[in-house]
Amino acid sequence: MKEATNNVISLPVKPTDALTEILRHGAKSLLAQAIEAEVADYIEQHRGAVDGDGRRLVVRNGRAPEREIQTPLGQMAVHQPRVNDKRLDAQGRRLRFTSAILPPYLRRTKSIEELIPWLYLRGISTGDFTDALSALLGKDAPGLSATTVVRLKEVWKSDYDAWSKRSLKGKRYVYIWADGIHCNIRLGDDERMCLLVIMGATVDGTKELIAVEAGHRESTLSWKSLLLSLRERGLDQDPELACGDGALGFWAALEEVFPKTKRQRCWVHKTANVLDKLPKSKQPEAKRLLHDIYMSDNKWDANRAYEHFIEIFSENYAKATACLSKDHDDLFSFFAFPKKHWKHIRSTNPIESTFATVRLRTKRTKGCGSVSATLTMVFKLAQCAERSWKKLHGAKLLADVIDARFVFVDGVRKDAAA
């Protein structure tokens, strides 16, 4: 794997100070308390499990040997309580207590692992990882040699390869968001290439990263290849709504692969495109009027606000109004879905907010590495972000969205037969 050696960041060595020591001591104490509470809860839950002589089958059994955990505050020694669980499962095997806080063999916190793709995308070469991580985590941070980093990157590449080929059989995405993300990372020698990203919301309202691949933002062929891959891996039900920028090749591809999916043009992209065609002196007023359109309580009011914008700007700024009117019908699709979902589905913010972090953590380098390596690192960062994603508001309404008995008019559910 080709490594980046340019634009290496110089980081000052973090000094050991009294405040850091206090924080480390407090964190260690809290960790110990959390583990003790976890074990106590487990034993309490199974206090009724006894043998023929009335002896409890789940009891404390001393402590495991002390081990070092690498954290953002430096090395932290922990003593984990042992649990003696004598119960048997259906196959006659001994049951075993496993800590959710401190799993077996954990040697570094997840936040440490997030630093590696971050530093890689910033241009840090493998040989400089030890110095860079030591500067961030403390000079005594072990186990982060160049060999360790290379091994981790290979594991993550395998993770990405497996994830990008995973089965989607049985998956149902009610909404999807699509965008082509330029992260100021050179994907090989092709300056036009970017990250093609698709996110989705499942029937229970969970947001998921569906796909991240390298391709061309405006290319129907790139997007069609990606969508066909999803369908071939089992995604056989058309999403109810797709949201994206109007400049994407995604839309023509969507028509071919998932023709039943309704379209929603992203209002964030549309607003930016319209404002770009106006002088700066007119942009504040225009932005306010555009906001009035997509924040309307119903489609009728939205169309009135739309016509008001056209009336004000059409005479002197025809390019701006042409840009707005180009996607008229697709700008108002969200009104045919639950009102609680509007803020989620009228823009690609679910993608933008996630990849804004990636953008902030990257800058152009002369040799950022292969397309595969860059995809792997971005995938790992996005995967880390995915853990903190919240469900859609009004998630229970998603079941009604896919139920043919119902339709939504101005965000309100009605019987389809009425």
Q: How confident is residue 9, by pLDDT bands cut at 50, 70 and 90?
A: very low
Rounded-to-integer distance, Cα 350 and Cα 338, Å: 18
In this structure, the strands spanning 241-244 and 262-265 are: parallel
pLDDT in tens, 174-222: 999 999 887 655 555 555 668 899 999 999 999 999 999 988 888 999 9
Q: Domain segments of the chain: what residues?
A: 1-164, 173-401
Percent of the chain past pLDDT 70, that is, above it, reads 72
Average pLDDT rounded to a whole number, residues 400-412: 96
Sign of CA dihedral 125, 130, 133, 134: negative
The pair of structure tokens assigned to 84 is 């003696």
- Our CA dihedral for 385, 330, 231, 350, rounded to 10 degrees, sits at 0
For residues 288-308, average pLDDT: 97
The span from the CA of 311 to the CA of 303, in Å, is: 12
| pLDDT at position 393 | 94
By the 8 A CB rule, do 238 and 172 touch? no
Residues 144-170, buried b or exposed e (16+ Cβ, 10 A)? beeeebeebbeebbeebeeeeeeebee
Q: Tell which wins on pLDDT, 352 or 109.
A: 352
| Per-residue pLDDT at 146 exceeds 60 | yes
> Is 238 a residue whose pLDDT tops 80?
yes
What are the tens digits of pLDDT across the range 20-66? 565 556 556 656 776 777 788 888 888 888 888 888 988 888 887 77
pLDDT at res. 397:
97
Supply the pTM of this predicted model: 0.70
Residues with Cβ within 8 Å of residue 175, at least 6 apart in sequence: 200, 201, 239, 240, 241, 242, 243, 341, 344, 345, 392
Is 60 exceeded by the pLDDT of residue 223?
A: yes
Query: How many C-beta atoms lie closer than 10 Å to residue 184's C-beta?
Result: 12
pLDDT for residue 405: 95
CA distances from 150 to 4, 126, 130, 304 (A): 13, 7, 12, 59
Q: Identify the sign of the CA torsion 392, 395, 397, 403.
A: positive
The closest of 331, 326, 325, 321 to 278, measured between CA atoms, is 321
Mean pLDDT of 321-326: 94
**What would the two tokens of residue 354 be?**
């996630």
Element housing 83 (H / E): strand 81-85
Which region, left, alpha or beta, applies to residue 92 given φ > 0 means left and ψ of -120 to 50 means alpha?
Answer: left
Which pLDDT belongs to residue 114? 61
Q: Distances from the Cα of 243 to the Cαs of 208, 261, 348, in angstroms? A: 15, 10, 6
